[in-house]
Structures are given as C-alpha cells and as structure tokens.
C-alpha cells in the first residue's frame, strides 16, 4: 500500500455479503438498517466490488464483518474470506476481523490464528448486537491477544441503526454501547489500541472524556454525515484530539463521497484536516508504505 498516493483512509467499512451468497444480517435487521440510513436499492457489494470502489477513489478501507451469531443466529461473513480479499487487494484493503466474545476460549485461539496466519490488523466489536458489556471479563482473553499482537480493538458506540424501528428494536439493547464501559478496558489494558466508532449519541461527552484521558483511545467519525456532528465533537477534533480522530464512513450504508463532501464544509483547520483523513489512521494502523 502506497500511503503517499492515498487521498484518505476509511477506517470503517462493512463486508455485508459473502461470496457464498450469505449476508451478515437477516432480512429484518437488514431492512431496518437500510430504512434508518435511507439507503436506496441494494447495498451488498462483494469484497472485490468494495476494493474496486475504493481503488477508483484512491482511498484505502479497513473492512470487517460482525460476528454476532450467538445473539442473532446469523453466521457472519467469514473472517478468513475478508482477510483473503484484503490479501488479494493489498493496495486498498486493510483486514479487520470480528469474533463473538461468547465463543470463549475458541475465539481467543482464533484471534491469534487470524493475526499470525491471515495478517488481520484489528478486531471489530459491536456490543449492542453481540449482547455484552465491553468491560465484561468474558472478552478479556480476546483483549489480551489484541494487545499482545499490537492490533486494534474497534468498538461500536452509541445508538445503532441495526434493529431501529422494529418492535423492541429487534431485541438489541443500546446500553451495551456506552463508551464509558470501554474506559475500564483502556485502564486494564494500557497498551491496547482502541477506536470508539461513530459520534457516540447520546454519550458523546463520555467518548470525548475517555479519548482525552486514555492515550490509546481514538474516535472514528463514521455512521453520521459530518453536517450532523455535535459542535463539541468538532471542537475537540480541531484541538485536543486532533491526533486521535479518524475518518470513517460506514460504507455501504453511508458512502465516502457523501461523507467527504459534507466534511469539506466543516470548520476544520487546514493542518488538522489531513490528520483526520489519513495521517492519524496510517500511524495507528502502522501503514508506512511510501
């Protein structure tokens, strides 16, 4: 990957369909998510299509599935498939994995294998869908591997469009995704590299506090059009957290084209803008290609 040739690094994109034709969400959750984000038409690009999409835009993309099979009954897009697609498109794709903490020791062993054999650079957790508090000890074995291998733990935070509008929210509980629970993880694993995903509505101040207090904690700006960002988030991104805030789109539910167009209108300092779009992510992910 030639980082110097990239316009931006998108740290938050989803593998939503396997080459075997299986989707990461069941039909009800998929439809509810599409309605929440006002997505028109299909939003199920294959991994090869995702790579081509970002290559056309001279961007790199961190891509991952979400393993929440214990809670949803739906198997994820295989982590190995994501990693293999990234290996076939190393100029644009950075592979993350996702493992359900409820899998216990089996997940811990799989995490190590995914890093050592498949070159995975990080792990995505979605506490609300996976049904666990980030500071629950059931996940600590995974965090130990992630910290030891120098990879990244990315946590969904705040409200989610998954299940929105369904009776009972599809059974998905928002409480698990308060970023303050990640503060315990950052304290117990002081060398763990962490990303708090999304503007963390309704807990934005908590996210800013954790990122400001714990050196290893970063914030990605995915899942929202920048024109809706809280003013305090923009203020902190411009100042105290300018080295810890990352561009993310949430593609395919939100395109990088729309995100970047709206970001251009934000009052972000000229010297901070390239940090958010590329430099902070390149440093965090260890992408050093010239």
CA distance 215 to 217: 6
Please indicate, yes or no, if residue 54 is contained in any of the structural domains. yes
Q: 144 is in which domain, residue-wise?
A: 3-285
Q: Which residues contact 204 (CB under 8 A, 6 or more apart)?
A: 158, 230, 232, 233
pTM of the model: 0.94
Contact between 279 and 228 under an 8 Å Cβ cutoff? The reply is no
CA distance 270 to 9: 17
Contact between 213 and 182 under an 8 Å Cβ cutoff? The reply is no
| Residue 111 CB-half CA count within 13 A | 30
Please indicate, yes or no, if residue 275 is contained in any of the structural domains. yes
Q: Which residue has the higher pLDDT, 265 or 32?
A: 265
Q: What is the pLDDT of residues 196-211, one digit of tens each?
A: 999 999 999 999 999 9
Question: Which pLDDT score, from 0 to 100, does residue 289 have?
Answer: 66
Please indicate, yes or no, if residue 99 is contained in any of the structural domains. yes
Domain count, the chain: 1
Please indicate, yes or no, if residue 290 is contained in any of the structural domains. no
- Asked if residue 30 has pLDDT above 60, the reply is no
Please indicate, yes or no, if residue 31 is contained in any of the structural domains. yes
CATH code at position 51: 3.20.20.140
Question: Which pLDDT score, from 0 to 100, does residue 230 have?
Answer: 96
């Amino acid at each position: 990957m030639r980082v110097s040739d990239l316009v931006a690094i998108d740290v938050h994109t989803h593998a939503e369909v396997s080459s075997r034709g299986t989707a990461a969400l069941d039909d009800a959750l998929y439809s509810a998510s599409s309605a929440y984000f006002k997505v028109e038409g299909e939003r199920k690009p294959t991994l090869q299509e995702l790579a081509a999409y970002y290559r056309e835009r001279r961007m790199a993309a961190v891509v991952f599935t979400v393993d929440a099979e214990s809670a949803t009954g739906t198997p994820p897009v295989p982590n190995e498939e994501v990693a293999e697609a990234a290996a076939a498109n190393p100029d644009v794709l950075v592979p993350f994995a996702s493992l359900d903490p409820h899998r216990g020791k089996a997940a811990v062993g799989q995490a190590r294998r995914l890093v050592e054999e498949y070159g995975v650079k990080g792990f995505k957790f979605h506490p609300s869908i996976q049904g666990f508090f980030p500071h629950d000890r059931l996940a600590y074995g995974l965090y130990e591997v992630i910290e030891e291998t120098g990879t990244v733990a990315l946590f969904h935070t705040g409200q989610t469009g998954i299940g929105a509008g369904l009776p009972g929210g599809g059974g998905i509980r928002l409480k698990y995704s308060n970023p303050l629970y990640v503060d315990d993880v950052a304290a117990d694993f002081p060398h763990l590299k962490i990303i708090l995903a999304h503007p963390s509505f309704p807990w934005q101040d908590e996210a800013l506090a954790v990122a400001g207090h714990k050196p290893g904690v970063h914030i990605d700006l995915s899942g929202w059009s920048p024109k809706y960002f809280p003013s305090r988030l923009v203020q902190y991104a411009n100042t105290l957290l300018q080295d810890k805030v990352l561009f993310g789109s949430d593609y395919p539910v939100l395109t990088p084209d729309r995100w970047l167009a709206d970001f251009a209108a934000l009052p972000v300092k000229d010297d901070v803008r390239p940090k958010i779009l590329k430099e902070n992510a390149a440093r965090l992910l260890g992408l050093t290609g010239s």
